[in-house]
Amino acid sequence: MSQMNIIQSVNSALDIILEKDPNVCIFGQDVGYFGGVFRCTDGLQKKYGKHRVFDTPLSEGGILSTAIGMGINGLRPVAEIQFSDYIFPAFDQITNELAKLRYRSGGEYWAPVTVRTPCGGGIRGGHYHSQSPEAYFTHTPGLKVVIPSNPHDTKGLLITSIEDDDPVIFFEPKRLYNGPFDGDHKKAALKWDTHPKGEVPEDYYSIPLGKAAIERPGNQVTVLAYGTMVHVAREAAESSGIDAEVIDLRSLVPLDIDTITGSVRKTGRCVIVHEAPRTSGFGAELSAQIQEECFYHLEAPIARVTGWDTPYPHSLEWEYFPSQERVIESMKKVLGS
């Protein structure tokens, strides 16, 4: 075990998989010589060679389309999109091609592409360095969608995603790269070395997709979150004294519905928290499924604490970003107090 932040855990996962599988190659803007704008691929080109870890033209559609072609020809590409806000030029290649290739060819062709992309807000990123576009991809059959919340899970989930023969969109909450963040932007920044999940095995290990983690056990209300919001929800429970069960979904597709329904049947109440805008966000899907599965156990309407239905703002970031206060208020509301 050693102490790692998420950047180091991503780097460690990539290092291990490059060593293990000669068909893995890594590419994207600035990922090669420079080692990535977030340092996630630092040192990998030097260690494995230019043909295995390389820089690309500034072209998201080009990155994804060539990744698909490489996947078709037997490689296992790990493509990086520098910010998830810039994944949209590649949207056609991801949703119409990558996601549908296996299905449309009757299983003859597929491309085991992993797309790594930093997501989420809380970093003064404004419109185009803060988005959480996961719902566009959870809505597309054929894709798997993963969002870790800590260094330990990041490494295990990333290794699993790369080894998976299905395409995976792997969102990395950039607000968490260097340390956990509970939504209190006035507090001094924390580092992962004070957090138990900052302890990461140096060797190969994997965490299955489709398995949620109970971040904080509780009995009064179930709080569903992923990415940065796991830490906001956890701290909201701690500081309010509400006995909330906080679940870190970890993968949205496939979804661990058993863990979710098990918890909601126990607590009878549910609050869903995500950074992305509310309308047609992933919270709507969670809410619908819980209503279908747990109707007779629900003591209150399911609540959603989300980003507003606006573009992500710059100066009013902390009015947009779902705060501990909003989570607490929502938990109190579903508890009827």
Per-residue binding letters, 71-110, with other proteins (x by CB under 8 A): xxxxx-x-----------x--xx--xx--xxxxxxxxxxx
The distance of closest approach from Cβ of residue 323 to other proteins in the complex, given in angstroms and rounded to an integer, is 32
Question: Nearest Cα to 90, choosing from 125, 121, 66?
Answer: 66
Under rule CB under 8 A, residue 136 binds other proteins: no
Under rule CB under 8 A, residue 133 binds other proteins: no
Which of 17, 31, 67, 305 is close enough to bind other proteins by CB under 8 A? 67
Per-residue binding letters, 279-318, with other proteins (x by CB under 8 A): ----------------------------------------
Residues 22-51 that bind other proteins (CB under 8 A): 25, 51
Which of 3, 66, 239, 240 is close enough to bind other proteins by CB under 8 A? 66
The distance of closest approach from Cβ of residue 223 to other proteins in the complex, given in angstroms and rounded to an integer, is 22
CA 257 to CA 86: how far, in whole Å? 30
Compare residues 108 and 203 and give the one whose CB is closer to other proteins. Answer: 108
The distance of closest approach from Cβ of residue 312 to other proteins in the complex, given in angstroms and rounded to an integer, is 25
Which of 62, 133, 201, 262 is close enough to bind other proteins by CB under 8 A? 62
Q: Output the six-digit token pair for 71.
A: 């996947």
Residues 146-205 that bind other proteins (CB under 8 A): 165-166
Size of the site for other proteins (CB under 8 A): 45
Compare residues 165 and 299 and give the one whose CB is closer to other proteins. Answer: 165
Per-residue binding letters, 228-267, with other proteins (x by CB under 8 A): -------------------------xxx-x----------
Which of 142, 156, 218, 307 is close enough to bind other proteins by CB under 8 A? 142
**Residue 229: CA count within 13 A, CB half-sphere:** 32
Under rule CB under 8 A, residue 57 binds other proteins: yes
> For every residue of the chain, which 3-state class applies, written as one string?
CEECCHHHHHHHHHHHHHHHCCCEEEEECCCCCCCCCCCCCCCHHHHHCCCCEEECCCCHHHHHHHHHHHHHCCCEEEEECCCHHHCHHHHHHHHHHHCCHHHHCCCCCCCCCEEEEEECCCCCCHHHCCCCCHHHHHCCCCCEEECCCCHHHHHHHHHHHHHCCCCEEEEEEHHHCCCCCCCCCCCCCCCHHHCHHHEECCCCCCCCCCCCEEEECCCCEEEEECCCHHHHHHHHHHHHCCCEEEEECCEEECCCHHHHHHHHHHHCCEEEEEEEECCCCHHHHHHHHHHHHHHHHCCCCCEEEEECCCCCCCCCHHHHCCCHHHHHHHHHHHHCC
Compare residues 68 and 305 and give the one whose CB is closer to other proteins. Answer: 68
Q: Which sequence positions are flagged as catalytic?
A: 129
Return residues touching other proteins (CB under 8 A).
Answer: 25, 51, 56-57, 59, 61-62, 65-75, 77, 89, 92-93, 96-97, 100-110, 141-142, 144, 165-166, 210, 253-255, 257
